Structure 1
Amino acid sequence: MRVSSNSQYMLGTYGLQTKQAQLNHLQEQLSTLRRVVRPSDDPVAATQAVSVAQSQSMNSQQIKNAGMAASQLAITDTALQSASTTIANIKTLAIQAGNGGLSNENRKAIQNEMRERAKELIGLANTSDGSGNYIFGGTRKDVAPFVQTGAAGATYQGDQQRQEVPIASGRELPITEVGNDIFTPGLWTTLASLDTALTQGPAGSATYSADLQAVLAGLDKGLATLLAGQASVGGRQQEIDSLQELGESMSVQYASQMSNLVDLDFAKATSEFQMAMTALQTSQKTYAQIGQLSLFNHI
């Protein structure tokens, strides 16, 4: 069988191009540190990597959401803790107001102090997060949820829904509160009643003592409702802590899966690159020598 010079050149050129392409691919893998640079490198691994990447992205977003929710709930918890202290202080003032030996000036001082504490409570009920969004207005975050009425009362102008964020697969967590459920209308009515009683005093109202007892009962009820809301917030904080830990663990697992699917075995790839380089150089030398083979070289 005769092999023409043209066939030899074509075979030699094809061999060089194949080895050069292999070398280029190995060089691309080494530069990216990825075994699967394009889907054709490993279609099965590439498809699985897309699925893992989607899960990875969703998990990362949920971790971010959980962090944001944890921050907001921490603000809510602090506000409720302060509010419970304020209500307790108002209760102390109500108890002091029941002292029969108080002068009108003493009672007036108690009333002024009570009004300041009421304003403080309204301010806490209008707490906002770091972005200026109110947290006790339900989903109506751009308007202060409570407006003062009279000297010590307030009315609610938020809505009855809570904003929720996804923090895990199939789990959305409320991060705002319906203020009317925590700072109840009964509470503000109680404060208004206390202010009225202090204005009238024992001389102006035959039911002064009974009114103060009703105020104390109303304050206890309002405080109990607020503390129940705070307990709910605490439960969600614990859930977030657990889910954040789970999310971080899943993040490590996804990274490991992705690495197993597409990452490069650097030592193996380096060895293959050196072998491919040697093979290409040898082929180039052989091709050059074949190119010099001619009958005219022997005449």
Structure 2
Amino acid sequence: MRVSTQQFYFQNAQQLSNKQTDVNEQIKYIASGKQVLTAKDDAVSYGTLSGYKEDLSNIEKYNRNLTQVKNRNSLQETTFANAETVMLQLKQTFIQANNGSLSDSDLNALAELAKNSQAEMLGFANTKDETGGFIFSGYKTDVQPFVLQPDNSVTYHGDSGVRELQVAKNVMVDTNQPGDHAFEKVSNNIGDFLPSYNTNTSGIAVSKAVIADRGAYDVAANPPDYNFNFASATDLTVTDGNGAVVFNTTTYTPGQTIAFNGVEVQLNGNPLPGDDFDISPQEEVSIFDTIKSAIEWMQVGANPANPEQHAVDYDEILGQLDQALNHITGRRVDAGVRLKLVDNQTSNHADSELYLASGRSNIEDLDFAKAVAKFEQTQVSLQAAQQSFVQIKNLSLFNYL
């Protein structure tokens, strides 16, 4: 068979190029430390690796979210812990104020301490995170949530938005507690209504006022507010907001349950003729309203105009302070529960990441001993081909004539 010089050079150049490519491929594997770089290396393994890499990428995103959730809830937990301390101090100040031996100046001094507690609570409620956003404003992170008014009341300017982050598949965690939920929606210690005393010479007090049967509670037929009037110690008439009588008895006995329109009311004390009060629907009481009431109670001084009513107000405020303390503790517990969830998910992700990384490594990582041996073999093959080409191309028939 005749072999032309052109064909000879073409074939040898192609062979050398292929072997050089093999050497370059081996260098690429050794340099990357991986044995599967593209789908052509191993289509099945490449597909499995894609799954591993996607799962690991998701865990990385979840871990970033977990860090953010942990930071936000840690800040809330610390804030509520500080608020607990302040509310406990305020309660102790209020109890101290209920001392008949204190003078007006003593009570005013205690009222100033209570104002300091109010200022501290406002500071906690207006806490900012590391980005400068208010943590208790709901979605309105750039709006200061709580503002003190000239009358010593506090208004809320945030919303009820709750932000969430995904920390695992199908697992979402709250990153904030809106301010209205955190500081305003405190359960009413009495129940579903707040009393307002018009005339109280006996010191009678509403101890419970609840909607016991919501199916029977008809505000259209018998709207609040409900007025309680004692014509005598045993003669009680209750009227609704329209003035219609909803309950009447001439044999009232202290401690009995007064039931009407799905509502149940219980009183403490022995009424006197002329005692009169209203109850208005209010299931929740703001912490700041309770603090305001405590301050105003102390500012009345040592000689209130109506000592009996003053004592009733004290018991009501003290009970609501206890509810506020319990509420703050509950909000702190909520933040703590989320932090515990963060710890659990972080541990779960660490385990999953270890498993996935091991699986990826088994498929992807290069056996360097084998790779180097193959590289050397490929390099020797290239060198042999190069030397053969040099020797053959120098052969000539004239060398033998």
TM-score w.r.t. length of structure 2? 0.71
Alignment of 1:269-284 (within 5 A): 269-284=371-386
1:138 aligns with 138
Looking at structure 1, the residues matched to 57 and 320 of structure 2 have their Cα atoms a distance apart, in angstroms, of 49
Amino acid across the alignment from 2:349: G
1:213 counterpart = 2:307: no
3-state SS, counterpart of residue 127 of structure 2: coil
Deviation at 1:227, TM superposition (A): 1.1
For 1:11-30, list aligned pairs within 5 A. 11-30=11-30
**Other-structure match for 1:183:** 183
**Aligned pair in 2 of structure 1 residues 267, 151: CA closer, same or farther (>3 Å)?**
farther
* Aligned mates of 1:95, 1:69 — CA distance in 2: 38
Residue aligned with 1:167, SS: strand
- Report the counterpart of residue 240 of structure 1 in structure 2: 342
The structure with the largest helix share of the pair is: 1
Paired position in structure 1 for 2:123: 123
Residue range with higher mean Cα deviation, 165-174 or 146-155: 146-155
Give the number of the structure whose residues are more often strand, by fraction.
2
Give the letter aligned to residue 66 of structure 2: A
User: What is the letter of the counterpart of residue 245 of structure 1?
Assistant: S
- Fraction of identical pairs, as percent: 28
Counterparts of 2:305 and 2:2 in 1: how far apart (Å)?
128
Would you say the 8 A contact 1:151–1:195 is kept in 2?
A: no
Would you say how many aligned residue pairs link Structure 1 and Structure 2? 299
Quick check: 3-12 or 193-202, which moved more?
3-12
Q: Tell me how far 1:138 sits from its aligned partner.
A: 1.7
**Aligned position for 1:31:** 31
Q: How far apart, in 2, do the equivalents of 1:143 and 1:291 lie?
A: 85
Cα deviation for residue 4 of structure 1 reads 4.6
Range that drifts further, 17-26 or 288-297:
288-297
Q: 1:202, 1:208 within 8 Å by CA — same for their partners in 2?
A: no
- State the one-letter code of the partner of 2:168: A
Measure the CA separation in 2 of the matches of 1:223 and 1:126: 18
Q: Name the CA shift for 1:85/1:153 in 2 (closer, same or farther; >3 Å).
A: farther
**Structure 2: gaps (5+ residues):** 185-284
Distance in 2 between the 1:182 and 1:6 partners? 88
- Cα separation, 2, equivalents of 1:148 and 1:243: 40
Aligned partners of 2:178, 2:55: CA distance in 1, in Å? Answer: 33
Deviation of 1:57 (Å): 1.5
For 1:139 and 1:23, how far apart are their aligned partners in 2?
60
What SS is found at the alignment partner of 2:132?
coil
Q: Quote the Cα distance in structure 2 between the aligned partners of 1:222 and 1:101.
A: 28
Q: What are the superposed Cα offsets for residues 40-69 of structure 1, whole Å, 9 maximum, x if unpaired?
A: 333333333333222222110110110111
Deviation at 1:239, TM superposition (A): 0.6
Check whether the contact 1:186–1:218 (CA below 8 A) recurs between aligned residues. no
* Displacement over 6 Å in runs of 4+: none
Distance in 1 between the 2:317 and 2:152 partners?
A: 13
Local SS of the residue matching 2:357: helix
Letter in 2 for 1:267: A
Structure 1 stretches lacking a partner, 5+ long: none
Distance 1:251 1:149 in 2: 53
User: How many angstroms apart in 2 are the aligned matches of 1:292 and 1:159?
Assistant: 90
Higher mean displacement: 124-133 or 269-278: 124-133
Find the counterpart in structure 1 of residue 42 from structure 2. Answer: 42
Counterpart CA distance in 2 for 1:81 and 1:263 is 50
Paired residues for 1:48-197 under 5 Å: 48-150=48-150, 152-184=152-184, 185-197=285-297
Alignment partner of 1:116: what SS?
helix
> What residue in structure 1 maps to residue 370 of structure 2?
268
**1:193 Cα deviation (Å)?**
1.2
| Separation of aligned partners in 2, 1:79 and 1:153 | 21
Residue 286 of structure 1, CA deviation: 1.0
* Max Rg structure: 2
Q: How far 1:5 moved relative to its partner?
A: 4.7
Task: Return the offset for 1:212.
Answer: 1.5
| Aligned equivalent of 1:203 | 303
Q: Which amino acid aligns with 1:115?
A: K
TM-score (norm 1): 0.94
Is this contact kept in 2: 1:164–1:174, CA < 8 A? yes
